[in-house]
């Protein structure tokens, strides 16, 4: 209902909503029909919204007894054939890590939202941070692949949440959506469009004769077909290292073959996975690399820089992991120096430095809960540009 | 002609009553030398039941241990409102653990005291109902099973109030919370029976389990004193109304707590080694509607079409408590 509008007025396409609200709407639009979660600031609004939205579309909302149970229920629901989501923040993300590793290893599609707040430990629940850039990639033990998306606006949270399901389902992988408290709880006017009737990516379902079914055997695409529960296929799913038939194995050859396939399974699908934004990179002397609220500040910083005739550009990875390395190298090809503003003690700058080996990479680190301002970024760009030209 | 002895029901509950008691029987709060362990100036909401309950409980524990007390605190309202930087309301050694691990951290503290030969220093762990009945349940059960020398106090306000009033497994049936909206065929919290932590604690056979409310603070203090006389794992479950989450007037906190007890919704009792040893009888039995009506979280039960079936089920739960704990019998 449009409050303040006459009843006959056309329904406006815009909505004034928070990032967490957009996240919940995106999940429902993507076909998510199961949510299990646990209250935690600043992500609780996602659960609260979905407790109202999911029953309206015959979905299921469950508030679980803790963070570990929440991700475990999501894994169970996904094994049952339903698109499933959980949402949390730093401490809860830490608790979920063992299960995230299980989902990656057993190749169970699911989406995990992590709203970043100050850390470590309980940290600053109501303040933004970007401290889980590395944890989202490496948080569980052992080697495993994972996709992490890093939206930077309310609208993008909605869209990336939909894309998360479109990646998780066909690629059979957990997908993490990573954004900070600032974007989670700010409200912005957005036009969400209509997702009705838009075909969404589906899981690859097994269709051959059940007797010949191998749960982890793959074709060229490297993605094993999943069996529909109750369709007659025998499945053995385990957290132990397994062979193509799904059963545990310690055979070095079988483990190398199957784990090796798992670790490289995204390589053929990078076109689908990779996503980034570039701005002013063609002639940039100084390239800014940032995500989330820091990228929002960098956008304004670009305007300030250009007004001062400083040639600055922005590279914003939307898919954070696997990192769009080639795109970054290309964007940085003209730059003499790279600046990474990030709300942590140094995470994204490590990866950027690794990729752009040899190039001067500097960072603005901030972990006191106050977002980095455009003026600070512009100031550092100016200093860098001056130093490089001397 | 036989005279009936005059009963001072309110003795000690109100300060005036203390004058009728022997000095050693007077309430801890009435004593001018009380420690005031949870000091004034904290940021709890007006009418917060938890702030009241914690102050009485910890002061009583301090008195009982000759001020040799360490408090462990799970994440929750109590932790947040009592310690905004650079202030603290705690006048005792106090450690914030995480959300689900207060019982285990307290186990460690108690073991350290034992290892250092300082067994006169006692340990209290405290948490809300979320940190106790949900995420902290595993650690708590372990602490009970090992019979560690810790008094664990759960301040039960029936939900995750600190994060914005989401349901917990202590949320009563039919109550509206942020994650159990009053919509659909079964509005509010699904009609289970919640997790009865005092009875689960009793099933562990630990030396002492007690429930209390902030309506009977004299009783609450006495139970804390009793708990501190005992060694081993002890559990107290204190009902603390939350004006914000329950949607009642902040001046009504005590009244609501009393109604919870007088309707049989919340049985107040003591148990030792798994056996109920005493209970606080209902003085004047009231229907559950009297307890539910002043709370906005139950408002959907009293709409244009009263939810008679739900109300009957809630009444049946109260009746079961009254039968089970013999709450109508004089002690």
B176-220: pLDDT as tens digits: 999 999 998 889 998 887 899 999 999 999 999 999 999 999 899
Do A39 and B181 make contact, defined as CB atoms within 8 angstroms? no
Q: Which of B100, B133, B178 sits opposite A48 (nearest CB)?
A: B178
Do B135 and A47 make contact, defined as CB atoms within 8 angstroms? no
User: Quick one: pLDDT at residue A6?
Assistant: 52
- Cα-trace Rg, chain A: 22
Q: Please, are residues B208 and B150 in contact by the beta-carbon 8 Å criterion?
A: no
User: Quick one: pLDDT at residue A8?
Assistant: 61
The DSSP secondary-structure symbol of B194 reads: -
Q: Helix, strand, coil proportions of chain A in percent (round to 5)?
A: 40, 20, 40
Q: What is the ipTM of this complex?
A: 0.87
pLDDT tens for chain A, 390 residues long, are: 344 445 566 667 889 999 999 999 999 999 999 999 999 999 999 999 999 999 999 999 999 999 999 999 999 999 999 999 999 999 999 999 999 999 999 999 999 999 999 999 999 999 999 999 999 999 999 999 999 999 999 999 999 999 999 999 999 999 999 999 999 999 999 998 777 778 899 999 999 999 999 999 998 999 999 998 889 999 999 999 999 999 999 999 999 999 999 999 999 999 999 999 999 999 999 999 999 999 999 999 999 999 999 999 999 999 999 999 999 999 999 999 999 999 999 999 999 999 999 899 999 999 999 999 999 999 999 999 999 887
Q: Which residue has the tokens 């560690």?
A: B148
Q: Which residue has the tokens 């408090």?
A: B71
Provide the whole-model pTM.
0.92
- Tokens read off for A182: 């600032």
For residues B281 and A229, which has the higher predicted lDDT (pLDDT)?
A: B281
pLDDT at B5 > cutoff 70: no
Which residue is closest to B189 within chain A, CA to CA?
A63
User: Quick one: pLDDT at residue A4?
Assistant: 46
Residues 6+ apart with CB under 8 A from B281: B326, B327, B328, B329, B330, B331
Cβ-based interface (< 8 Å): residues of B facing A: 75, 96, 98-100, 130, 133-135, 137, 160, 162-164, 166-167, 169, 178-181, 183-184
Q: Which residue has the tokens 């009241």?
A: B52
Do A51 and B179 make contact, defined as CB atoms within 8 angstroms? yes
Q: Please, are residues A311 and A283 in contact by the beta-carbon 8 Å criterion?
A: yes
Q: Please, are residues B201 and B120 in contact by the beta-carbon 8 Å criterion?
A: no
**Percent of the residues in chain B that have a pLDDT greater than 70, as a whole number:** 94
Q: Please, are residues B262 and B282 in contact by the beta-carbon 8 Å criterion?
A: yes
User: Quick one: pLDDT at residue B34?
Assistant: 85
Do A65 and B134 make contact, defined as CB atoms within 8 angstroms? yes
Quick: pLDDT tens for B73-96.
999 999 999 998 888 999 999 999
* Beta strand residue intervals within A82-191, DSSP E: 84-89, 110-118, 124-128, 147-149, 174-180, 187-191
**List of chain A residues whose C-beta atoms are within 8 Å of the C-beta of residue B160:** 39
- Tokens read off for A246: 């799904």
User: Quick one: pLDDT at residue B4?
Assistant: 60
Between CA B19 and CA B6 the distance in angstroms is 16
DSSP assignment string, B121-163: SEEEEEEEHIIIIITTHHHHHHHHHHT-S-EEEEEE-SSBTTT
Between CA A150 and CA A148 the distance in angstroms is 7
Residue A340, strand partner residues: A363
| Number of neighbouring beta carbons within 10 Å of residue A39 | 29
Between CA B214 and CA B56 the distance in angstroms is 9
Between CA B12 and CA B218 the distance in angstroms is 6
Do A91 and B99 make contact, defined as CB atoms within 8 angstroms? yes
The number of C-beta contacts closer than 8 angstroms across A and B is 52
Between CA A28 and CA B302 the distance in angstroms is 32
User: Quick one: pLDDT at residue B29?
Assistant: 84
Q: Reduce the DSSP state of residue B164 to 3 states and report it.
A: coil
Between CA A57 and CA A183 the distance in angstroms is 27
Cβ-based interface (< 8 Å): residues of A facing B: 38-41, 44-45, 47-48, 51-52, 55, 61, 63, 65-67, 91, 121-122
H/E element, B312: helix B308-324
Which residue is closest to A58 within chain B, CA to CA?
B184
The DSSP secondary-structure symbol of A23 reads: H
Rounded average pLDDT over B232-251? 98
Q: Which of A39, A61, A66 sits opposite B100 (nearest CB)?
A: A66
CA end-to-end span of chain A: 60
C-alpha dist (Å) from residue A256 to A262, A263, A266, B35 = 10, 10, 17, 65
Closest CA to A281 of A268, A298, A267: A298
**List of chain A residues whose C-beta atoms are within 8 Å of the C-beta of residue B166:** 39, 44, 47-48, 63
Burial of A201 from C-beta contacts in 10 A (0-12 / 13-18 / 19+): middle
**List of chain B residues whose C-beta atoms are within 8 Å of the C-beta of residue A49:** none
Q: Which of B130, B135, B183 sits opposite A52 (nearest CB)?
A: B183
For residues B167-202, one letter each, b for 16 or more C-beta atoms within 10 angstroms of the residue's C-beta and e for the rest, the string is bbbbbbbbbbbbbbbbeeeebbbeeeebbebbebbb
- Cα-trace Rg, chain B: 19
Q: Please, are residues A284 and A302 in contact by the beta-carbon 8 Å criterion?
A: no
Length of chain B: 331
Residue of B99, B159, B170, B194 to mutate, testing the A interface (most A Cβ within 10 Å of its Cβ):
B99
- Tokens read off for B323: 């039968």
Which residue is closest to A36 within chain B, CA to CA?
B179
Closest CA to B137 of B170, B167, B109: B170
**List of chain B residues whose C-beta atoms are within 8 Å of the C-beta of residue A44:** 163-164, 166, 178
- The domains found in chain B, sorted by start residue, are 18-324 (3.40.50.970)
- Give the model's confidence band at B232: pLDDT under 50 very low, under 70 low, under 90 confident, else very high: very high
- Tokens read off for A366: 């901030």
**Cis preceding-peptide flag for A27 (omega within 30 of 0):** no
In what order do the strands lie in the sheet containing B234-239? B94-96, B69-73, B122-128, B151-156, B234-239, B208-213, B269-272, B275-279
For residues B214 and B28, which has the higher predicted lDDT (pLDDT)?
A: B214
Do B164 and A121 make contact, defined as CB atoms within 8 angstroms? no
Between CA B209 and CA B233 the distance in angstroms is 9
- Give the model's confidence band at B6: pLDDT under 50 very low, under 70 low, under 90 confident, else very high: low
Between CA A141 and CA A263 the distance in angstroms is 14
- Tokens read off for A222: 């490297």
Q: Please, are residues A145 and A79 in contact by the beta-carbon 8 Å criterion?
A: no
**Percent of the residues in chain B that have a pLDDT greater than 90, as a whole number:** 82
- The domains found in chain A, sorted by start residue, are 14-191 (3.40.50.970), 210-270 (no CATH), 277-388 (3.40.50.920)
CA end-to-end span of chain B: 24
Q: Which residue has the tokens 């954070």?
A: A320
Closest CA to B88 of B155, B153, B39: B39
């Amino acid at each position: 209902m449009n409050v303040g509008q006459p009843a006959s007025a056309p329904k406006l396409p815009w909505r004034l909503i928070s990032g967490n609200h957009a996240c919940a709407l995106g999940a429902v639009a993507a076909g998510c029909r199961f949510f299990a979660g646990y209250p935690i600031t600043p992500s609780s609004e996602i659960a609260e919204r979905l407790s109202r939205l999911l029953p309206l579309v015959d979905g299921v909302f469950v508030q679980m007894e803790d963070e570990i149970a929440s991700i475990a229920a999501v894994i169970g629901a996904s094994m049952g054939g339903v698109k499933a989501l959980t949402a949390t923040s730093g401490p809860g993300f830490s608790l979920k890590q063992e299960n995230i590793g299980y989902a990656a290893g057993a190749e169970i599609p699911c989406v995990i939202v992590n709203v970043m707040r100050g850390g470590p430990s309980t940290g600053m629940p109501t303040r933004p941070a970007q401290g889980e850039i590395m944890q989202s990639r490496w948080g569980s033990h052992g080697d495993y692949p994972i996709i992490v998306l890093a939206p930077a606006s309310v609208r993008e949270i909605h869209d990336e949440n939909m894309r998360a399901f479109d990646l998780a389902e066909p690629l059979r992988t957990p997908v993490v959506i990573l954004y900070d408290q600032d974007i989670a709880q700010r409200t912005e006017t957005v036009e969400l469009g209509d997702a009705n009737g838009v075909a969404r990516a589906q899981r690859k379902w097994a269709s051959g004769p059940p007797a010949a079914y191998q749960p982890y055997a793959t074709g060229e695409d490297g993605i094993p077909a999943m069996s529909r529960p109750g369709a007659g296929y025998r499945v053995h799913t385990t957290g132990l290292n397994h062979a193509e038939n799904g059963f545990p194995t310690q055979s070095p050859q079988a483990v190398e073959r199957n784990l090796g396939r798992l670790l490289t399974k995204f390589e053929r699908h990078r076109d689908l996975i990779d996503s980034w934004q570039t701005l002013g990179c063609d002639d940039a002397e100084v390239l800014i690399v940032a995500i989330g609220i820091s990228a929002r500040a960098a956008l304004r910083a670009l305007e300030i820089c250009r007004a001062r005739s400083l040639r600055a550009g922005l590279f914003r990875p939307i898919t954070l992991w696997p990192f769009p390395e080639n795109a970054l190298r290309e964007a940085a090809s003209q730059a003499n120096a790279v600046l990474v503003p990030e709300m942590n003690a140094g995470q994204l700058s490590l990866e950027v430095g690794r990729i752009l080996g040899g190039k001067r990479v500097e960072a603005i680190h901030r972990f006191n809960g106050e977002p980095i301002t455009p003026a600070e970024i512009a100031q550092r760009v100016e200093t860098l540009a001056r130093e490089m030209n001397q | 002609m036989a005279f009936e002895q005059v009963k001072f029901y309110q003795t000690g509950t109100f300060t005036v009553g203390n004058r009728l008691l022997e000095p050693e029987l007077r309430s801890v709060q009435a004593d001018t030398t009380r420690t005031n362990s949870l000091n004034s100036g904290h940021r709890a909401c007006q009418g917060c039941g938890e702030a009241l309950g914690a102050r009485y409980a910890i002061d009583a524990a301090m008195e009982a241990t000759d001020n040799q007390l360490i408090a462990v605190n799970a994440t929750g309202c109590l932790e947040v409102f009592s310690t905004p930087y650079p202030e603290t309301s705690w006048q005792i050694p106090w450690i914030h653990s995480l959300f689900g691990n207060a019982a285990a951290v307290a186990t460690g503290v108690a073991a350290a005291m034992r290892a250092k030969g300082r067994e006169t220093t006692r340990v209290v762990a405290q948490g809300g109902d979320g940190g106790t009945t949900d995420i902290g349940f595993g650690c708590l059960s372990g602490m009970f099973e090992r019979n560690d020398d810790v008094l664990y106090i759960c301040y039960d306000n029936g939900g995750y109030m600190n994060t914005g009033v989401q349901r917990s497994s202590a949320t009563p049936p039919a109550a509206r919370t942020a994650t159990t909206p009053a919509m659909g065929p079964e509005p509010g919290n699904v009609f289970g029976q919640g997790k009865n932590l005092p009875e689960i604690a009793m099933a562990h056979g630990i030396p002492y389990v007690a429930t209390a409310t902030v309506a009977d603070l004299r009783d609450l203090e006495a139970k804390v004193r009793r708990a501190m006389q005992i060694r081993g794992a002890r559990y107290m479950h204190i009902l603390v109304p939350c004006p914000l989450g329950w949607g009642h007037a902040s001046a009504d906190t005590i009244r609501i707590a009393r109604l919870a007890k007088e309707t049989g919704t919340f049985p107040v009792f003591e148990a030792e080694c798994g056996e109920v040893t005493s209970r606080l009888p209902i003085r004047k039995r009231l229907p559950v509607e009297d307890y539910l009506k002043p709370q906005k979280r139950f408002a959907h039960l009293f709409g244009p079409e009263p939810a008679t079936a739900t109300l009957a089920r809630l009444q049946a739960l109260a009746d079961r408590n009254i039968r089970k704990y013999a709450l109508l019998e004089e002690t």
